[in-house]
C-alpha cells in the first residue's frame, strides 16, 4: 500500500489548523500542524511533505516570506496559501508558484486544489 500524501498545515489559529487537518485526513492525507512559520520550517527540516497549506497573515512573518523559505528547501512542493486579506497576491503566487484561495474558504475549492497539487507532485516524482 502506498503511503498517504503528507501535508503540513501552518496557521496561527488553532481552530483553523484543526479543521484543515481533519479535512485533509478525510481526503486521505497525513497532516501535521504548526502554529507559526518558524514551527512549520522546523517541521520541514525534520520531515518531507508533498504539500504545504499556509495562511497569509501570521505573527512574525507573512505567508509569502514563508513560501520563499519553503521554496529554498524544496522547489517542487505544492503550496496553497489561504488569505482573507485584500492584498494583491496574484503576482507573488505566479512568482513563487503557489495556489491562492480566498476566505471565506470554500471547502470544495480547497479539496480540488489539494488533489490537483498532490496529483501534480506524484506525476513529477
The domain ranges of the chain are 6-124
Give the rounded percent of residues in the chain with a pLDDT score beyond 90: 78
Q: Is the pLDDT of residue 125 over 60?
A: no
Half-sphere exposure of 68 (CA within 13 A, CB side): 7
Average pLDDT of the segment spanning 4-30: 97
Cell readout for 96 is: 513563487
Q: Is the pLDDT of residue 124 over 70?
A: no
> Is there a cis peptide before residue 104, judged by omega within 30 degrees of 0?
yes
* CB-based contacts of 53, cutoff 8 Å, min separation 6: 7, 8, 9, 10, 11, 20, 24, 79, 80, 82, 114
Q: Strand pairing of 61-62 and 57-58? A: antiparallel
Average pLDDT of the segment spanning 61-76: 91
- When pLDDT is cut at 50, 70 and 90, the band that residue 60 belongs to is confident
What are 33's strand-pairing partners? 9
Nearest alpha carbon to residue 9 among 48, 37, 45, 46: 37
* pLDDT at site 87: 78
Q: Is the pLDDT of residue 123 over 70?
A: no
> Under CATH, what is the fold of the domain 6-124?
Rossmann fold (3.40.50)
* pTM to 2 decimal places: 0.93
Name the average pLDDT for the chain.
92
Cα 31-35-41 angle, rounded to 5 deg = 75
Amino acid at each position: 500500500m502506498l503511503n498517504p500524501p503528507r501535508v503540513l498545515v501552518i496557521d496561527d489559529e488553532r481552530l483553523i489548523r484543526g479543521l484543515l487537518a481533519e479535512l485533509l485526513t478525510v481526503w486521505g492525507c497525513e497532516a501535521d500542524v504548526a502554529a507559526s512559520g518558524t514551527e512549520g520550517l522546523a517541521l520541514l527540516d525534520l520531515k518531507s511533505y508533498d504539500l504545504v497549506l499556509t495562511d497569509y497573515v501570521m505573527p512574525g512573518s507573512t505567508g509569502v516570506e514563508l513560501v520563499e523559505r519553503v521554496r529554498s528547501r524544496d522547489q517542487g512542493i505544492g503550496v496553497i496559501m489561504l488569505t482573507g486579506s485584500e492584498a494583491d497576491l496574484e503576482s507573488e503566487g505566479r512568482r513563487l508558484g503557489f495556489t491562492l484561495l480566498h476566505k471565506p474558504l470554500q471547502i470544495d475549492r480547497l479539496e480540488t486544489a489539494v488533489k490537483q497539487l498532490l496529483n501534480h507532485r506524484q506525476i513529477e516524482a
